[in-house]
Amino acid sequence: MKVVHYLTYFMAAVFILGETLRRGISYLSINATTMFEDYFCGVLLILAAVLWSKGSQHAYKFMVGAWAYTAGGMFVPFFAHLEAYLRDATFRPDHPHEDINSVILKGVIWGIALIGFIVVMKHKETDKTN
């Protein structure tokens, strides 16, 4: 669980810094919803990691919620971009279907989020048996 705890901080930085460096703050005027979703995800992950670090009684719930939100939030971007790539059709101009590196990156992020969620859920099951 310690790895997931540190990974939570790392993924928060990926969402906040990655989105800012990739699109820039000016993208807020174009698609604020996308930016907000990634920033909110990052903040939720940071909050969960900090609560876990402090041993808060609410840490587990926040950790589950943060990883679930992350996995859910990355589901559509990954699979929609993958579908665009497979169909050879760009559905959104800011997500060109030829950009296979973005598809792979989104898949990796979604996979990490799903694994993080599963590990956190398993951690609680392990705590109940001990």
Distance CA 12, CA 15 (A): 5
pLDDT tens digits, residue range 56-112?
999 999 999 999 999 999 999 999 999 999 999 888 777 788 889 989 999 999 999
Question: pLDDT value at position 107?
Answer: 97
Q: What predicted TM-score, i.e. pTM, was given to this entire model? A: 0.87
Tokens coding 86: 């497979």
Alpha carbon distance 2, 6 (integer Å): 6
Tokens of 3: 């790895």
- For residue 91, what pLDDT is reported? 80
- Specify the 3-state DSSP secondary structure of 5: helix
